[in-house]
Amino acid sequence: MWQNYFKIIGIVPGRVVVPGKGTIDFSKENVPVELCKQLFDSGFPYLELTDLGKEVLYNQPKISKSKSDRKSKGSAESHDAL
C-alpha cells in the first residue's frame, strides 16, 4: 500500500494526469509503490515521503525528537560552552 510510504500534498487525492505515465488515481490503494518512488525521485510536487518511506525506501534512520533528548542535549551544550 503506497500510502504507508508517501502522502499526497497540495492537491486533493484523486486522478492526476502525469506526463509519460498517464492518469494515476491517487485516491486508490493500488498505485504501485515503485511508480510513486519514480515520481518522487523525478521531482513530482504532490508526493511527500512518510517517516516509514524514508526508512524503508531510502534507508534513512528514524530520528527521535523526544523532549527529554532535546533538554539533555541543550543543557549539555550550554554546559560545554562554559
For the entire predicted model, the pTM comes to: 0.72
Query: What's the pLDDT at 46?
Result: 97
- Contact by Cβ (8 Å): 58, 49: yes
- Contact by Cβ (8 Å): 29, 2: yes
Question: Distance between CA atoms of 29 and 52, rounded to whole angstroms?
Answer: 17
9 pLDDT more than 60:
yes
Question: Distance between CA atoms of 27 and 12, rounded to whole angstroms?
Answer: 9
| C-alpha distances out from residue 6 to 20, 38, 40, Å | 20, 12, 9
pLDDT digits (tens, 9 = 90+) for 20-68: 999 999 999 999 999 999 999 999 999 999 999 999 999 987 776 655 5
Contacts of residue 2, Cβ cutoff 8 Å, sequence gap at least 6 = 29, 31, 32, 33, 36
Domain ranges for the chain: 2-81
